[in-house]
Amino acid sequence: MRVSGAVPDRPARLARRAVAAVFAVHGTVSGGFATRIPWLREHLGLSPGWLGLALVFMTVGASAAMPLAAGLAHRLGPRRSLRLLTVVCCAALPLPALAPRLGWLCLALLVYGAGLGLLDVAMNDHGVRVEHAYGRSVMSGLHGMWSAGALLGGAGGAVAAQGGLPAPAHLSLVAPALAVAGVVACRWVPGGAAAPGGEGATGTTGPEGATGTSGASAAEGGEGAAPAPPRFAPPTRGALAVGLVGFCAVFAEGASMDWSGIYLRDVTGAGPGLAAAAYTAFACTMAIARFTGDAAVRRFGAVRTVRASGGVAALGGALVVAAESPPLAVAGFALVGVGIAVVVPLCFAAAGRTAPEAPARAIAGVATLAYASGLAAPAAVGWIAETTSLTFSFGLVTALLFGLVAGAGVLRPAPRAVRPEPGATPGESGPPTQRTAASRDVATAGGPGTHREVAPGRDPVAPPPPGRGTERAPGQPGRAGPAGRTPPPPTGQTPTPETPAPDDGTG
């Protein structure tokens, strides 16, 4: 992993731009669909409750598909799987608008949700890999590209709605263009990184492994190929805590995306054009906040940033609930966009840290929990509005936003995930300060960046000057360490007879 402040190499920069373009495509798909939900409701004559029921199938499709993304990347390779899932997601965009009745709408939303969920996990997995290659926060900027795409899709949807263009024609024109853009961008996505969970997974590779400039991929059948990951891996306790924070943010995001236009029309009496502007304002402020979010995280830290953002989001939700005119409601949705902007990127980055050896599976677990809430939010808001009111529904959304303030502490980076390995030089790999059996084996073999082993429970002493070609086992009897002591051999290993070793200047 590159140290913070290092200038990324050209492959890393190209990879970041390519992944950012895929984020933008996904956001444009989401934004274009969200602004045409009012058209769907009017075209099929659905009540809020029936519309909410139909949107549940989008939740089911995404939740069922997300855990499959890691296995697909392992079998096809990261680049090919991302290209395929980009095409699938774009191809599913017009399907809901073509549905002639409620039953077909539910089926179309099932397929559409699966496409969204699969691509979401795949692109965030690549985002975590790029962030590790950079050695600093970049996830907020990548999600900023998603918001920029959502803004573009929302603006296009608002123009189409204002001009009276039917949703099937609008979305059928947009989908092929987005698919072509995504496929072209995938040319620069790293294709040589090892399969998730393999030797070159995020957190265990250097810049070469993360940016695809290394050797053959394990996913493509090279030596040391990792075993196929399980079809579904339940999230760990740490990932579950991160997912609950994402739950609060994504629930508010899903509710705002799919119901902001209807809220303005039904509660404040806005026309079609102004109602679509609510989502546009929400996506615009979210994009701006995400593009500046990485700088805020580097300056204030993830925990403080999320706590402050949660307060802003809760204030915006309260403004929406209290609004009696369209401008006030639009301002409230804009504040909600600012407040939840950086939460989801930081949740995905934290998810990658909880399982650095298999980030795709950890991200899939967190994404399944978080986005299940976001995709379930439209249905929940519709059901509650059916029995109470839309205003009361958004009151509950506002209450959830206070959970961001309370749960921000779980996003604090673990020290062992960011502290450099003693004696390691920039560009060398391996989970920082983590003493696993694999790392002991590398140390015994004289692997790069590890010049001796430290007994369990002891702090490492000052490292010797970097050297290469040492064949003796670190801490071998008869060869004193820097402090004049012979460190004991690692637990479970037998000292080997002393053999001559090249002088590395530490004797």
Each residue of 92-122: pLDDT tens digit?
999 999 999 999 999 999 999 999 999 998 9
At 114, which CATH number?
1.20.1250.20
**Residue bearing the bigger pLDDT, 48 or 385:** 385
227 located within any domain: no
Q: How far is CA 403 from CA 112, 252, 270, in A?
A: 29, 11, 31
461 located within any domain: no
Instruction: Give helix then strand counts, H and E, for the chain.
Output: 18, 0
477 located within any domain: no
Q: What is the pLDDT of residue 413?
A: 64
Q: Is 129 a residue whose pLDDT tops 80?
A: yes
Q: Is 443 a residue whose pLDDT tops 80?
A: no
Each residue of 189-246: pLDDT tens digit?
876 544 434 433 433 333 333 333 333 333 334 444 455 555 555 556 767 778 888 8
Q: What is the pLDDT of residue 242?
A: 83
Q: How far is CA 466 from CA 262, 273, 424, 449, 462, in A?
A: 64, 65, 8, 7, 12
Q: What are the residues whose beta carbons fall under 8 Å from the beta carbon of 305, sequence distance 6 or more?
A: 293, 296, 297, 342, 346
Q: Are 136 and 349 in contact (CB under 8 A)?
A: no
Report the C-alpha gap between 100 and 118 in whole angstroms. 26
In the chain, % of residues over pLDDT 70: 67
Q: What is the mean pLDDT of residues 75-93?
A: 91
Q: What is the mean pLDDT of residues 397-418?
A: 75
Q: What is the mean pLDDT of residues 122-139?
A: 84
Q: What is the pLDDT of residue 124?
A: 87
453 located within any domain: no
- Alpha-carbon Rg for the chain, nearest whole angstrom, is 25
Report the interhelical angle of 48-65 vs 37-44 (nearest 10°): 130
Q: What is the pLDDT of residue 114?
A: 94
In the chain, % of residues over pLDDT 90: 25
> 166-180, 263-277, 453-467: which range is least confident on average?
453-467
Range of the domain at 357: 10-208+233-413
**Residue bearing the bigger pLDDT, 402 or 135:** 402
**Residue bearing the bigger pLDDT, 287 or 332:** 332
54 located within any domain: yes
469 located within any domain: no
* Reported confidence tier of residue 72, pLDDT bands at 50, 70, 90: confident
Q: What is the pLDDT of residue 35?
A: 86
Q: What are the residues whose beta carbons fall under 8 Å from the beta carbon of 409, sequence distance 6 or more?
A: 303
Which pTM was predicted?
Answer: 0.64
Q: What is the mean pLDDT of residues 261-275?
A: 86
* Reported confidence tier of residue 365, pLDDT bands at 50, 70, 90: confident
Report the C-alpha gap between 166 and 3 in whole angstroms. 51
Into how many domains does the chain fold?
A: 1
492 located within any domain: no
242 located within any domain: yes
Each residue of 302-315: pLDDT tens digit?
888 889 999 999 99
Q: Are 96 and 105 in contact (CB under 8 A)?
A: yes
